[in-house]
Amino acid sequence: MSGKERSPRHRPWSVYRANTFDLSAEMMGLALSGNSQDPDEPVLEFSVACSELVTPSLDRKPTSFVAVSCTTPPQAFWTKHAQTEIIEGTSNPIFLSSIAFFQDSLITQQTQVKLSVYDVKDRTQGTMYMLGSSMFSVKELLQDKHHRLHLTLRSAESERVGNITVIAWQIEEKREQRAPVARLQRGDTVNGRMVLPVDESLTESMGIKSKSSSLCKDPLLKAVFGGVMSRTYRFPTTDGNHLRILEQMAESALSLHIPRQFVKLLLEEDAVRVCELEELGELSPCWENLRRQIITQYQTIILTYQETISDLHEYKGPSFKSSTLKAERKLEFIPTNLHIQRMRVQGESGYDRTYDVVTIGAPAAHHQGFKGCGLRKLLHKLEEARKHQSSAGPGSKAMAYQPQDVVKAKELIAQINTLKTQVCYYTERLSRAAKDRSANALERTLTILTEKTRQLVTVCDSKLLTSAILALAAARPEFIKQGTPSPSSSSLSPSSRSPSRSPSRHPASPSRAATSPSRHAAPPDGGDGSKNKRSSFQADLHEEEWEKVWLNVDKSLECVIQRVDRLLQRDKIQSDSSSEDVFLLANEEPGNTKKDISPEVEKKSPGEWSDALYPVLTTLTDCASLMSDKAKKAMVFLLMQDSAPTIAMSLTLQYRRDVVFCQTLTALICGFIIKLRNSLCDSGFLRQLHTIGLLVQYEGLLSTYGEELAMLEDMSVGVMDLRNVTFKVTQATSGFAPDMLPVITGNRTGFNVRVPMPGVLFDTLPREIQNGMLLRVQPVLFNVGINEQQTLAEKFGDTSLQEVINMESMTRLSSYYDQFKEVLPDDCLPRTRSTTSLPELFKLLSQNVNAKKNKNVEILWQAAEACRRLNGVRFTSCKSAKDRTAMSLTLEQCQILQQEHALAPQVFYQALDCMRSEGCRRENTMKNVGCRKYAFNSLQLKAFPKQYRPPEGTYGKVET
């Protein structure tokens, strides 16, 4: 860096926020105008560069970095504040990492800053010595005309060992308010490399203007995220300007908040399941034994969930689970090392872009272990066990239904519960409207009640339900005593059942000969003719009884409709003139009067409507409850039949799946909240969100060898289960942090996440989202192993799982893009400098996914770019989200800077090493294992792709 004077017009930016803390009048005069609306802007930021560094050994150039310490009177000791990256083999290093003092630094104009330059002799061993140092005060830097200081470095013996230049920076909101920085001219050098000027038209600003929400100050994000760590950099661009980079990393309160809610929901769901089994009533001995076995298994799982809830509420540690605790039983539902990683890029032309990535240790059941297989293989084994059971023949105790029947049964239970509640609710509403004698309310409520009741009847008119009712009847002790066949013979296959009946289409009882499943059931082996006849006759009786139940609901509803119509008609008649009223009543045909109408209604004077409706409403409620309870018990019995043979395996697998899903769900909610908050001004994204849902892309770096292969199986199932998650945005009840935390409802068939937002933010959302539209999720997972274990897998093992996962995700990603093209315009997508169109990018990604190429990391790069360009949320994961994740994240950040923000190519790898050595991810290793080193060794790194190798001195043998 040249030390010559530049004109004031070419002075570099400087920043000193006057409104951050109390400044004296003198300080106010010295402070330059900064962006006072930006809470993430540092109070003071400066860069350093050295020149003419001299080492005692003249035959080598120094490998140097600058350590920055400060002290503010009356403090009498120095505190280390930051340090730059290490630059190798030059006497004139220009450091890319800048030194930032944020508001919590509490510096004043009297603060003294010491710059100590170190020469690193061996980066691997960490041997170094101090070359020289220099000091200055904040006041000196601000008083300088150009806000730069040229200082002499002196050794401990006071000998001159070189120079160091300090330059303060400033980012301002408007381009016209800022004096441009000095541009690099032809022939200028950066770290010994020639820099050639680039045509300005090639680097024209995109004019992207987005208001970034602060992790530290925004009320919503502050409620969800905490422990924010920040690093700043100044990187040169191809046109000689500079980019200001703010890198941040934050943990999330949701790491504990979501698992606590989630496990409670699981506990409630399984407790309800036990109650449903208990309420089935008396069963024959063989079925009773099965029920007791199933309940015992559930009670064991429930006890585990109760212990987990207790452990989660007693936990008082940090709001993230370190990688060293990933196998801790008490914390197995908490995601490992969950953080949000943010890169904010600001350019001299005034644009401001933010890129967020959620990092999480591979969602997997680490405590339960892997033993050579994860969820995908376990699910396959369960399916095989069920198939084996279903083919075991009539001698088996229970029947394994088809998967679609089991799903249908669970749906029916949920629908029946919901519709029964709604029928009871609107029955009460109708009674209240009658009591208030409100004709309009009566009509409106009757319409809704009619709709809900008929929906309930339609749901209960199912061939699957009919056969389940017969099977449950056959499992009663009285049925067994009468010499019926074994339970298995009365468990009728759904495929043998007749088409469903609709009470609305057939008010009369249909012919049993056409609808009775018993007519199609094969007689059990060894049964005589009389037993078959008794079995068939009793099945017919039970089916006829069930038909009467749902027909009674239909008839009860008709009675309610007629009664309300009659009351409204009489009310209209009574509102006419009295003479006309008398005339009409006198001439009314007696046949129009129902026998069940009370005498009070016949009177000319107004009677009590509620008294008139009470009998028929009570009948409707009783009939609907009877039908619902009978149907629900039948479905519960069906599920009991289906699950009995494999209940132990099924619940063990379900518990593992719950653990994995909880970790994945927590990360998803973090990503959704920060994406939504950052995109409130992006109408295109919001339209896309409520039209086709949110794309979420998980990037995996797991190998397909050993335990990590099983982890990948777990993770792939957890990610795909996110398809059962929906979001609903609501208005927060207050501005307090607890009221802005998300709330989960639902069960394993589908979870809904309610995300509260402050009123001022909620009002900016589209009407569809404000009205409570459920927002869907489309998850995809792309995995490429990059470590030495992947080399073993490629040479001696199997990479088919990775290939299958990537091809499945490619299909889903393409499907999402096809949906986008069908219903949304391209201007919903973010602007980009890329010369590759989205169709071309998808073609390249598809080619790479289908190519047989080892460690094809281009899949990860292209999938990440496709996600960003489709307004998706990015997730990156390895075993612990600490080492390989750090390499991937920093590479992605530098690729974004190069592709979208014209980062000078000659500093790409220097910027990459800078972020890896002095960025937030290096501090992540300290948070997890207490050591600022990545857990790699030299031998391992030889197997890594070149772009994923950290700089010397930043890695070593540490705990993972």
Give yes or no for a contact between 570 and 609, defined as CB atoms under 8 angstroms apart: no
Q: Identify any residues that bridge with 779 across adjacent strands, giving them in sequence order.
A: 696
Give yes or no for a contact between 855 and 948, defined as CB atoms under 8 angstroms apart: no
Give yes or no for a contact between 312 and 259, defined as CB atoms under 8 angstroms apart: yes
CA dihedral of residues 190, 192, 197, 202 (deg, nearest 10): -70
How far is residue 181's CA from residue 239's CA, in Å, rounded to a whole number?
A: 12
Q: Identify any residues that bridge with 98 across adjacent strands, giving them in sequence order.
A: 232
Specify the amino acid at residue 817.
Answer: Y
How far is residue 42's CA from residue 14's CA, in Å, rounded to a whole number?
A: 11
Structure tokens at 143: 């008083």
Structure tokens at 424: 């009871």
Q: Which of 440, 526, 530 is nearest to 483 (CA)?
A: 530
Give Dmax over CA atoms of the chain in angstroms.
Answer: 125
- What value, to the nearest 5°, has the Cα angle with vertex 148 and ends 909 and 908? 10
Helix (H) or strand (E) holding 793: helix 788-796
Active site residues: 878
How far is residue 531's CA from residue 524's CA, in Å, rounded to a whole number?
A: 10
How far is residue 809's CA from residue 803's CA, in Å, rounded to a whole number?
A: 10
For residue 445, the tally of other CB atoms under 10 A from its CB is 22
Per-residue H/E/C for 687-713: HHHHHHCEEEEEEECCCCCCHHHHHHH
How far is residue 393's CA from residue 410's CA, in Å, rounded to a whole number?
A: 25
Per-residue H/E/C for 592-660: HCCCCCCHHHHCCCCCCHHHHHHHHHHHHHHHHHHHHHHHHHHHHHHHHHHHHHHHHHHHHHHHHHHHH
Q: Which of 887, 886, 907, 835 is nearest to 865 (CA)?
A: 835
How far is residue 657's CA from residue 637's CA, in Å, rounded to a whole number?
A: 24
Q: Which of 309, 315, 367 is nearest to 660 (CA)?
A: 367
How far is residue 357's CA from residue 342's CA, in Å, rounded to a whole number?
A: 6
- What value, to the nearest 5°, has the Cα angle with vertex 190 and ends 92 and 914? 80
DSSP states of 886-949: HHHHHHHHHHHHHHHH-B-GGGHHHHHHHHHHHSHHHHHHHHHHSSSSBS--HHHHTTS-GGGP
Give yes or no for a contact between 801 and 376, defined as CB atoms under 8 angstroms apart: yes
For residue 257, CA distances in Å to 214, 310, 689 come to 21, 13, 25
DSSP states of 413-429: HHHHHHHHHHHHHHHHH
The DSSP secondary-structure symbol of 730 reads E
CA dihedral of residues 781, 318, 915, 126 (deg, nearest 10): -120
Helix (H) or strand (E) holding 119: strand 112-122
Give yes or no for a contact between 466 and 490, defined as CB atoms under 8 angstroms apart: no
